[in-house]
Homo-oligomer: A and B are copies of this chain.
Amino acid sequence: MSATRRYTLTISCPDRSGIIAAVTGFIAQHGGFIVEASYHTEQDAQRFFMRQEIRADSLPFDAGEFRRRFTPLAREFDMAWQLADSAIKKRLVVLVSRQDHCLNDLLHRWRSGELLVDIPCVISNHEDLRSFVEWHGIPFIHVDMQTGKAAAFDHIAALFELHRGDCMVLARFMQILPPALCQRFPGRIINIHHSFLPSFVGAKPYHQAYQRGVKLIGATCHYVTDELDAGPIIEQDTVRIDHGDTVDDLVRYGRDIERTVLSRGLRYHAEDRVLVCGNKTIVFR
């Protein structure tokens, strides 16, 4: 994604002919210059998905006006849609525990300008990573999980709303979110699970993988739903291991694959490349 300001229009609607023509016709009619365009039909659901990036300076109006003028067309095709403005960065609230490999990677991508988001705060149930987070000039908030989980999760939800979070990132948070919290922010909580789902759901997946004797291990970035490790998958990857690798080696290889997979998933999400259809995702890379 370049530095030029862009509007990103994402649409999902029942499939029929003429959708692309109608949408691109609307854009062309106002002189809009399309920078990137992607389409997909989900056969089982008979739904059509599209994503258009349009150069903001090629249009004679702003995002608000775009939305107003586009509404009748959207209604005609029964679209679920949104228009994102690249000048308004998404706000990611990051939750961590003690392990910092995903956080370290994420903050590096943020401070180098590769990941174009705002990070209003980092929340943790431990104090360990305070100094590292604060060195970045980002507020670090400790939420104690020992003195009652329910209250702690209420606190986290309140902090997320207080900081106007668009997305909650579980960067190896190691705590299972209560179902009510998951249901409250659908499609807005992203987790990195340290296995190639659906294999090895739940705790200690590297130990499970070691016991089963698999020849590759993986990681999965997914939206969190109220069913553990079962939400829509955004991104996955695997890495080869062999019989000589101990559980500690698996954990070490795993860290590399976890941060890579999480960072890709977050970038796709931040750039409005992920559309959800039932329990699956369309990722317009």
Contacts and interface: CB of A to CB of B under 8 A. Distances in A.
A58 B238 contact: no
Contacts of A21: 21, 24-25, 27-29
Contacts of A281: 213, 243
Interface size class of A (residues with CB under 8 A): 35 or more
A61 B219 CA distance: 44
Contacts of A104: 104, 108
A283 B20 contact: no
A197 interface: yes
Contacts of A213: 232-233, 279-281
Interface string A245-280: 010100010011000100000000000000000011
Contacts of A131: 135
Count of identical protomers in the assembly: 4
**A interface majority secondary structure:** mixed
Given A17-B33, A242-B283, A237 B216 contact: yes
A238 B236 CA distance: 11
Contact of A17 (B28, B108, B233): B28
A17 B43 contact: no
A244 B282 CA distance: 8
Contacts of A237: 215-216
Nearest to A243: B282
Interface of A: 2, 17-18, 20-22, 24-25, 27-29, 31-37, 39-43, 58, 100-101, 104-105, 108, 112, 114, 131-132, 135, 196-200, 212-216, 218, 232-238, 242-244, 246, 248, 252, 255-256, 260, 279-283, 285
